[in-house]
Structure 1
Amino acid sequence: MAGGSPPSIVVVGSGLAGFGVLRELRRLSPDAKLTLVTMEDGHFYSKPALSTALAKEKTADTLITSNAGKMALQLKLDARTGRQAEAIDRAGKALLTTGGPVPYDVLILATGAIPVRPPIEGEAAHRAIAVNQLDHYARFRTELPDGARVLIMGSGLVGTEFANDLISTGYKPVVVDMLPLPLAQLVPPPVGEKVRDALSAQGVEWHLGRKITAIGYRGGVPGYVATLDDGTMVEADLVLSAVGLRPNVKLAAEAGLDIGLGIKVNEYGQTSDPHIFAIGDCAEYQHGLSAYVTPIMAAARGIAPSALGTPTEIRFPPLSVQVKTTLLPINLLPPPRSAKGEWRCLEDDAKGSKHLFVDTGGIVRGYVLTQDKCEERMEMDAKVGGTA
């Protein structure tokens, strides 16, 4: 940025994190040279909407809220779509891509997360679809027969939301998970039981406390047969993998940046190289990973001015999450994974339930609200960090 010339900032990734920080950069600097590098088409869409798109009768095309051309024009971007970022030349300050090197003053990594692929045997194991971006959803819709029986691997946030979406639109979801209850890593057992029962009442089939050992093709007709660890055979027309995501750190790791669970960043979003920042699902902030919309937007508001030369600490609000299960609405703020403590039920009645996670020091570190009590989210946000 020497000589007072407008900075050249390159952003890798066209998800919410990439476009979020690009919007903030353009708002703060009308003259900055902004370049987007992405393997995708460069369209803007809501990734959280993928798990509720069926009920809203959305196709991959209608999920796009702003196409690539409009985004490039609106943000005055040099959009390098369909390009893979292959390496970072830190000494030469250039991103090496399949379309050639792209020089930068500042590089911002918004490489997202990649689906976890559990080791499963069988000739059809590779056919499981993980819906983590628009083209994945397009394939899912193309391969989804009317009224299909869909095997969902995983009952976490995404798996449970897909089960809710599928059962609400005339499909037959079958959910398999090693854990004993849905959302087991996010909510206390009584809430997990209510989620299970609410979806079961509509026709969701659960195989909890079980794991899939193999997936093969169904003989004679299209489809699949999954074998569970207790010998149960589950037939399905489609297999959806929702066993989790892990930060996409490959590019950063190969460049020698500090890596933990994700790409480690400081309070400004800087990596161990001060000219490189990371944001979103790929980043490991000082409090840990934050793979939701609210922290992405908060990080964008701190990283953009920092990248433009004004160090600005990222300030995260309470990172609450709306679970998009219409059959049992839930708002929650998960406690930190490192927190030791217990869930306490404050209320449980016809209007829903209210739970607090209280650590060993008596401090409120998280909460879960269900049904009508979801409206109390702001009140509960204010309790976090205080004494129970």
Structure 2
Amino acid sequence: MLRELRRLSPEARLTMVTLEDGHFYSKPALSTALAKGKTAETLVTSPAEKMIAQLKLDARIGREAEAIDRAGKALCTTGGPIPYDALILATGAVPIRPPIAGDAAHRAICVNQLGHYERFRRELPEGGTVLIMGAGLVGTEFANDLATSGFTPVVVDMLAMPLGRLVPATVGQKVRDRLAMAGVTWHLGRKVVAIDYRQPGPGYSATLDDGTQIAADLVLSAVGLAPDIALAREAGLDTGAGIKVDDCGRTSDPHIFALGDCAQYQHGLSAYVMPIMSAARAIAATALGTPTSIRFPPLSVQVKTTLLPINLLPPPSSVEGVWTLLEDDAEGSCHVYVDAAGRERGYVLTENKCGQRTQMDLRVGEFA
């Protein structure tokens, strides 16, 4: 976002407020960093000092945004109020914390930012067993990363298959079986009800809803994220699942914008890199005085499971339909999601079929 603003306006005063350390890094890389030998330090692609100098930023690092004074057009922070002509909220998402009993339930780590990953690496013993709660995109990618890095992942999920909300059951079965061959243990159709300190320690003992006990050195929570809308809601902005924005990224206050995981666009939430980049370009232009509509490309996703490569375009959550198999051979498989009107609204490609991503984006993206 800051790069887009600076590209369009070399002279605009840009103020960045962040509670983190201000370094630039790729958040999707967190779930594949182990196999690549990355530490929290080496994941940083642009240190804060370098980015501040390059983009000529007024950086307020380590400051928390406490409230928005909409009438006075100021952001109230722990370092004092900061006036604005345009305010862009990129508050991201916060981990969902399901109700779990036990004296160690609070020790489950959700890796959603660089500091979380630093703690994860610090507490991860060599060759240890990691209990992963959740077999969605993040949980499955972490299971793949851990299994290919010499660790023992144990995955628990309430659904019958990994990636259960994103792929057809047959693909979920292939993911389950391929990762199991690499050492992943699955407890599907189950949930964690308690996490206690292991006696004798160190480590943890998790109890599932069927009474199964799992011993682990570390517990990773990947049950999902919810848009962080607290600041916007307290300021009286329109919110739903996220901070509601129009086709230019403006909230119900025309001087305030929302971007990324916290934003609820016209089509819903879009918590992936490509839609954030597309939205940033339009919001930058609009915030600087040239109203520009956001043009989203097909929002396809590369699932970073090296043991079974997958590319997919998730169908809209509101659309009823069925998965249809188009191809299944030694090169992989291709599935499309067909709605009640016979339109293709999503797709899943596996293994070498992932090379068809561009063609499938063009084929399905028109209606997705």
Q: What pairs with 1:161-310 in structure 2 (closer than 5 Å)?
A: 161-310=141-290
The residue type equivalent to 2:332 in the other structure is G
Structure 2 residue 35 is matched with structure 1 residue 83 = no
On the 8 A contact 2:298/2:365 being kept in 1, the answer is no
Structure 1: state its 5+ residue gaps. Answer: 1-20
Q: What is the root-mean-square deviation of aligned Cα atoms in Å?
A: 1.0
- Write out per-residue CA displacement over residues 76-132 of structure 1, whole angstroms, 9 at most, x where no aligned residue: 100100000000000000000000000000000000001100000000000000000
Partner of 2:98: 118
Q: State the Cα distance separating 1:377 from its structure 2 match.
A: 0.3
Q: 2:30 aligns with which of 31, 47, 50?
A: 50
- How far 1:387 moved relative to its partner? 8.8
User: Retained in 2: the 8 A contact 1:364–1:386?
Assistant: no
Separation in 2, partners of 1:29, 1:277: 18
1:26 counterpart SS class: helix
Counterpart residue number, 1:30? 10
2:139 to 153, 159, 172: 159
Report the equivalent of 1:359.
339
Q: Distance in 1 between matches of 2:200 and 2:243?
A: 47
Q: Displacement of 1:351 after TM fit?
A: 0.7
- Determine the C-alpha separation between the residues in 2 that align with 1:145 and 1:200: 21
Q: Could you say what secondary structure the match of 2:333 adopts? A: strand
Aligned to 2:320: 340
Three-state SS of the structure 2 residue aligned to 1:225 is strand
1:129-184 per-residue CA deviation (whole Å, 9 max, x = no partner) reads 00000000000000000000000000000000000000000000000000110000
TM-score normalized by the length of structure 1: 0.94
Task: Check whether the contact 2:345–2:367 (CA below 8 A) recurs between aligned residues.
Answer: no
Say which of 329, 336, 361 aligns to 2:309: 329
**2:129 maps to amino acid:** R
Q: Secondary structure at the match of 1:304?
A: helix
TM-score, normalised to structure 2's length?
0.99
Could you tell me how far apart the structure 1 residues matched to 2:365 and 2:357 are?
Answer: 15
User: Structure 1 residues 73, 385: closer, same or farther in 2, change over 3 A?
Assistant: closer
**Contact 1:363–1:385 under 8 Å retained in 2:** no
Return the letter of the residue paired with 1:163: A
C-alpha displacement of 1:221 = 2.1
Residues 12-60 of structure 1, C-alpha deviations (whole Å, 9 max, x = no match): xxxxxxxxx1111000001100000000000000000000000000000
Determine the C-alpha separation between the residues in 1 that align with 2:131 and 2:265: 34
Q: CA deviation at 1:385?
A: 5.2
1:284 aligns to what SS in structure 2? strand
1:350 aligns with 2:330: yes
CA distance in 1, matches of 2:178, 2:65: 44
Partner of 2:119 in structure 1? 139
Query: 1:384 Cα deviation (Å)?
Result: 1.1
2: distance between equivalents of 1:238 and 1:297?
34
CA-to-partner distance for each residue in 1:310-340, whole Å, 9 max, x for gaps?
0000000000000000000000000000011
Which residue pairs with 1:315 in the alignment? 295
- Identity score, percent: 73
- In the alignment, residue 97 of structure 1 is paired with which amino acid? T
**1:383: Cα distance to partner?**
1.1
Residue 175 of structure 1 aligns to which amino acid in structure 2? V
Contact 2:324 2:336 in 1 (8 A): yes
**What is the alpha-carbon distance in structure 1 between the residues aligned to residue 6 and residue 182 of structure 2?**
47
Q: Deviations over 1:333-363 (max 9, x none)?
A: 0000001111000011111000000110111
- 1:108 paired residue number: 88
What letter matches 2:245 in structure 1? V
Q: Helix, strand or coil for the counterpart of 1:138? A: helix
- List 4+ stretches of structure 1 deviating above 2 A: 385-388
Tell me which of 94, 105, 108 is aligned to 2:74: 94
* Distance in 1 of aligned mates of 2:365 and 2:241: 25
Amino acid at match of 1:125: A
Q: Separation in 1 of the partners of 2:302 and 2:312?
A: 7
Aligned length: 368
Q: Secondary structure at the match of 2:362?
A: helix
